[in-house]
Amino acid sequence: MIALAVTKIHAINTTMNAALDYIMNPMKTDDGFLVDGFHCTPEVAAEQYELTRRNFHKAGGKLGFHLIQSFAPGEIDYDTAHRIGMELADKLFGGRFQYVCATHIDRGHIHNHIISNSVSFVDGKKFYDQRKTVYQIRDISDKLCRENGLSVIEHPMEHGLSYHEYVQRREGQSWKQFLRENIDRYILQARSWEEFLELMRKAHYEVKEGKYISFRAEGEERFIRSKSLGSDYTEEQIRNRISGARRIDLTQNKGLSLIIDIENAFNDIQGNKAGLEHWAVTQNLKKAAATYNFLMEHGLNTQEELDAKISAVSKSRDDSRSRIKEIEARLKVISEDIQNIDNYRKTKPIADKLKTAVFKDKFRRENEGDLIIHDAAKRYIHERFPNGKLPLIKDLRAEEKALKAEKNKLYGSYYQSKDELSELRTAEKNLAAILGRNVTEKDKTVQRKKNGELE
């Protein structure tokens, strides 16, 4: 297995909120499950970063840094990628800088986004992004890949090539090759030229129509004319392939897969229809056998047992998810408690001096930032702890550590249940197809309500 992690870093100067909102997009991070923060709460990280910078009188300049770590398609699972991203940030920032790590799974390759503060919450020193930082990040990333049994490129640079380009060249891939593969993929799926272009746009390609059709991948500077990819990729030939050589994708999914609806799948297909139908019938026999074996291995001998199993696994998944959300809510409160108690204690001597200062207005102007932070922390503490008894920060950190450990363990349970439920649903649909049942979505919803699966 080859997991060639590509890394890059750039400064954030003006758009911290927008950058954090982008990397934490629930549609990209499995509904926020693949987002974690260090010494900050991801949802309010921008404000917490700013407080740190103001605390050390370093509000100007760079706001933070955005690091991206990409893995080769299909060669690493979500949890491992997210864990490696967190470990990379821990080693790079040495426990001194706040950061948010988000793992994106919405595209063909899994990749991590890490956004850090520019100022250390420990000593107020700035993180300087120098040329050697790129090599340091790469070295850490490669080491983590090796520790996790993944392969790395030992000599990642050639004259005139970026690291990303070198990875693609070594793997026999390039932006042009990726473009060919995507064009081939969407020609098979599209029923018209317009639908083909829409599928390309959904795959994050910018399309430019004119004398020659051109595509630009996300992150690339230049458009690529399709005709430069070869004779099969001119606009005329692509149109011909869509209208006259449409065929289904015969690639098999891993694990239990759905029975093919032969009648609908091959409706209006041109070419060797009889051969394709024979292939589909053969595949369906294999899928039926795999479904039968799956049900027997799990001791599911009746429809009632299958329904009960689906309900139980669904409940397990939902219970894990609910507990994770509870933990995340508590971690957010703990983080805010620590931040405000720490701010209050650090700025209290300055607030006390104001009481005895001879020139109060001058003192207030000179210490305006600290006094604002002190007043905000004081208001928070009075509302949060009306009895005036504050918890010890060491106790809060101990609870935070325990909750994070529980959360990480629950992630495993959640994804295991999610995968198991997906297989059970596939088996359920296959069984209905094998027995000739026509199970509508309404029927399924009614049944799930009876099982208590839906609220």
Question: Do 225 and 345 fall into the same domain?
Answer: no
> What does the pLDDT read at residue 73?
65
Question: Do 163 and 219 fall into the same domain?
Answer: no
Of 158-167, 307-316, 416-425, minimum mean pLDDT range: 158-167
For 30-62, the pLDDT digits (tens) are 888 899 999 888 888 898 899 899 888 998 889
Q: Please say whether the beta carbons of 34 and 111 come within 8 A.
A: no
For 434-445, the pLDDT digits (tens) are 777 554 444 455
Q: pLDDT > 70: what percent of the chain?
A: 78
> What does the pLDDT read at residue 212?
87
Decide if 416 is inside a domain: yes
d(CA 136, CA 447): 55
Which string of DSSP letters, residue by residue, matches 52-91? HHHHTT--SS--EEEEEEE--TTSS-HHHHHHHHHHHHHH
Domain final residue, candidates 120, 146, 168:
168
Decide if 223 is inside a domain: yes
Question: Do 186 and 144 fall into the same domain?
Answer: no
3-state helix, strand, coil in the chain (%, to 5): 60, 10, 30
Give the residue, 316 or 72, on which the prediction is more confident: 316
d(CA 356, CA 349): 11
Decide if 43 is inside a domain: yes
Domain final residue, candidates 203, 223, 246:
246
Give yes or no for residue 325 having a pLDDT over 80. Answer: yes
Count up the domains in the chain and report the number.
3
Of 156-165, 424-433, 440-449, minimum mean pLDDT range: 156-165
Question: Do 62 and 186 fall into the same domain?
Answer: no
**Which candidate, 435, 418, 169, 409, places its Cα nearest to that of 291?**
435
Decide if 99 is inside a domain: yes
Question: Do 178 and 127 fall into the same domain?
Answer: no
Question: Do 338 and 317 fall into the same domain?
Answer: yes
Decide if 286 is inside a domain: no
Model confidence, pTM? 0.47
Can you give the residue range of the structural domain that contains 341?
303-450
Question: Do 184 and 157 fall into the same domain?
Answer: no
Max CA-CA distance within the chain? 97
Residue 269 has which token pair? 């297909």
> What does the pLDDT read at residue 71?
78
Question: Do 186 and 310 fall into the same domain?
Answer: no
| Alpha-carbon distance values, 13 to 25, 50, 60, 129, 373 (Å) | 21, 13, 9, 13, 23
d(CA 213, CA 191): 18
Which string of DSSP letters, residue by residue, matches 239-302? HHHHHH------PPPSSS-PPP-HHHHTTT--S-HHHHHHHHHHHHHHHHHHHHHHHHHTT--S
Question: Do 158 and 212 fall into the same domain?
Answer: no
Whole-angstrom distance between the N-terminal and C-terminal Cα of the chain? 42
Decide if 298 is inside a domain: no
Q: In the beta sheet, which residues pair with residue 134?
A: none
Give yes or no for residue 392 having a pLDDT over 60. Answer: yes
**Which candidate, 410, 412, 418, 414, places its Cα nearest to that of 331?**
410
Question: Do 156 and 181 fall into the same domain?
Answer: no
Tell me the average pLDDT of the chain: 79
For 239-280, the pLDDT digits (tens) are 887 775 434 343 344 456 666 655 554 554 444 555 556 666
Of 88-97, 153-162, 378-387, 445-454, minimum mean pLDDT range: 153-162
Q: What is the mean pLDDT of residues 15-36?
A: 88
Q: What is the mean pLDDT of residues 86-110?
A: 88
Question: Do 207 and 339 fall into the same domain?
Answer: no
Decide if 73 is inside a domain: yes
